[in-house]
Structure 1
Amino acid sequence: MRIAMMQMAMTEDMERNLQVSYEAVKEAAGVDLLFFPEVQHMPFLPQYTADELPDYLLDPDDPRVTAFYDLARQAHCMVSPNLYLQYRGQAYDTSLFIDEKGNLLGKSAMVHVTSAPQFYELDYYTPSPDGFRVYDTSFGKIGVVICFDRHLPESIRTCAAMGAELVLIPTANLTTEPLDLFEWEIRVQAYQNNVFIAMCNRVGREGDVTFAGQSLVVDSEGQTLFKAGGEAGLVYCDIDLEKCKASRQARPYITLRRPEFYR
């Protein structure tokens, strides 16, 4: 299975950001899966506090959103864009999961939302009402965990317990954050949960922050298979999800869980 990640440098021009996204799907034709960084169509506004929601909020039925369905079908590639969407009367940081036939398999919204300096996300996002989703695909089961969610071990563990063999993480990691620690965080969780994990990051300077890139892919043995630099553009990695089965036979952590004792 070949996956692609689009490291993007966003501008304030939503239409331009979307066009870059559309072109990435066309360029990635022939790969099996393409996904994007967090809220790929807008500047990272959560670095600032907010009293009202910005104009970048989109409806799931907006033609600019559903355009990804046709593009996925034309490219014959699974596509997972991450967008700032409004539905159920609330605003969510949401990843769509679209199969290679252009069918929307579902929406995954950020589950754990908090606020911290340069990440005032409670001003923008509503926590998911549905929890984590795992999607059945022709290559295996794929889950989505969005940015901050990964810091809570229950997030990737829940996807793994639902059968996920690959977990996608659209993110917004800064150059000032402990990136080495973040990589180890992903490696340890991949090992403990017998899953592949791919994390796609933004790049470039926006306001007071600089995004680091360094998108990465880790296998079910906790080994980093690929790590990108800090430049914008498509990056690729070949993975074999069959390796998850061997990892789970060797280390059956999920089946040994005793959740009745957990608090």
Structure 2
Amino acid sequence: MSKKSLTVALVQDRDQGSVEANLANIETRVAEAASRGAKLVLLQELHNGAYFCQHESTHEFDRAEPIPGPSTERLGALAKKHGVVLVSSLFERRAAGLYHNTAVVFETDGSIAGKYRKMHIPDDPGFYEKFYFTPGDLGFEPINTSVGRLGVLVCWDQWYPEAARLMALAGADLLLYPTAIGWDPDDAQDEKDRQRGAWLLSHRGHAVANGLPVLSCNRIGHEPSPLASEKAVGASGIRFWGSSHVLGPQGEFIAEAGTDDAEVLLAEVDLGRSEQVRRIWPFLRDRRIDAYQDLLRRYRD
């Protein structure tokens, strides 16, 4: 089988302090990625600013914008300028009081190829996303682009095998996860190691179970919590652990970034390997779809 190679880039970085600074930095990073041969560029979750979900404040809704809107116009122009497919992550204002955590994919001509609204919304100390985001209503549908069918999911979605599976069943060629995840600085080191290890393992499991490459792009740096004065759980902020990575369809690491440094992580992905792997590990063939009805229940009491 002939090799179908795709050069991908993941832009791992820290918050630059403002929307303008972040978008300017993204423009620099995407230019670098394109100059190094990237045809598909993945950005981190909510890349326009700090991870504001560490607290609940109605003032944070001022960050949201319509899609299409100012950021999509600028990012679309960026994709067109460098001839890349660009996967972004924005705080979408759909209507007054109705907001989503939305990934937007741009084609090489700058047009919007499609979008995905985050389906699984967490609500935990430091990650109060249910206050801000309405669960997605676009389903698990891959987005058609010139480089393939992209199964785009967002952060908390990464813990759910059902989401990855449904993207695979809909014909995704790759799974992509814009992400913002890290440690509570107060946690013991062994707990930090377990959390990061579980995160990596979940992605490797999605790759193996579906026979697909997986791309996950995370941010870096410590972001203080607005609740620091309250000394509550999660009030020490989040240290994002980076570790952006590209996996092959058997869960193998093709490329992995560090935990602390900004990096444009490049990798070459052989999209033809999924066919080869699925021939020897035909998990889709052997699924007992006649016996999975209870998956539609919350819990089997």
Shorter-normalised TM range: over 0.9
Note the alpha carbon deviations across 1:75-130, whole angstroms, 9 max, x for none: 01100111111125521111111111222111111001120111000011110011
- Map 1:201-212 onto structure 2 (within 5 A): 201-207=218-224, 208-212=237-241
Partner residue in 2 for 1:247: 277
Partner Cα distance (2:40, 2:74) in 1: 17
Note the alpha carbon deviations across 1:190-211, whole angstroms, 9 max, x for none: 1011110010000111111111
Q: Which runs of 5+ in 1 are unaligned?
A: none
Q: Are 1:20 and 2:25 matched, yes or no?
A: yes
Partner Cα distance (2:154, 2:253) in 1: 20
Which of 195, 202, 216 aligns to 2:212? It is 195
SS at match of 1:254: coil
- Map 1:45-124 onto structure 2 (within 5 A): 45-51=52-58, 53-89=60-96, 90-124=98-132
Which of 147, 163, 186 aligns to 2:171? It is 163
Higher mean alpha-carbon deviation, 50-59 vs 88-97, is at: 50-59
Does the 8 Å contact 1:139/1:241 carry over to 2? no
Does the 8 Å contact 1:95/1:109 carry over to 2? yes
Q: Are 1:40 and 2:37 matched, yes or no?
A: no
Q: Which runs of 5+ in 2 are unaligned?
A: 1-5, 185-191, 225-236, 295-301
Does the 8 Å contact 1:91/1:125 carry over to 2? yes
SS at match of 1:167: strand
The structure that has the greater radius of gyration is 2
Partner Cα distance (1:26, 1:139) in 2: 18
Partner Cα distance (2:85, 2:15) in 1: 22
Partner Cα distance (1:25, 1:227) in 2: 18
SS at match of 1:132: coil
Which of 115, 118, 134 aligns to 2:142? It is 134
| Letter matched to residue 286 of structure 2 | L
Count of residue correspondences? 263
Q: What is the deviation of 1:154?
A: 0.4
- Map 1:200-239 onto structure 2 (within 5 A): 200-207=217-224, 208-229=237-258, 230-239=260-269
Q: What is the deviation of 1:53?
A: 4.0
SS at match of 2:285: helix
SS at match of 1:130: coil
Partner residue in 1 for 2:230: none
SS at match of 1:256: coil
Partner Cα distance (1:50, 1:88) in 2: 18
**Sequence identity, in percent?**
28
Normalising by the residue count of structure 1, what TM-score does the alignment of the two structures yield? 0.95
| Letter matched to residue 161 of structure 1 | L
| Letter matched to residue 261 of structure 2 | E
Partner Cα distance (2:55, 2:17) in 1: 14
Normalising by the residue count of structure 2, what TM-score does the alignment of the two structures yield? 0.83
Partner Cα distance (1:25, 1:139) in 2: 17
Which of 190, 197, 201 aligns to 1:184? It is 201
| Letter matched to residue 252 of structure 2 | Q
Partner Cα distance (1:74, 1:14) in 2: 20
Does the 8 Å contact 2:115/2:143 carry over to 1? no
Does the 8 Å contact 1:188/1:222 carry over to 2? yes
Partner residue in 1 for 2:231: none
Does the 8 Å contact 1:60/1:66 carry over to 2? no
Does the 8 Å contact 2:52/2:60 carry over to 1? no
Note the alpha carbon deviations across 1:175-222, whole angstroms, 9 max, x for none: 345111111111122101111001000011111111111101111011
Partner residue in 1 for 2:11: 6
Partner residue in 1 for 2:133: 125
Q: What is the deviation of 1:50?
A: 2.8
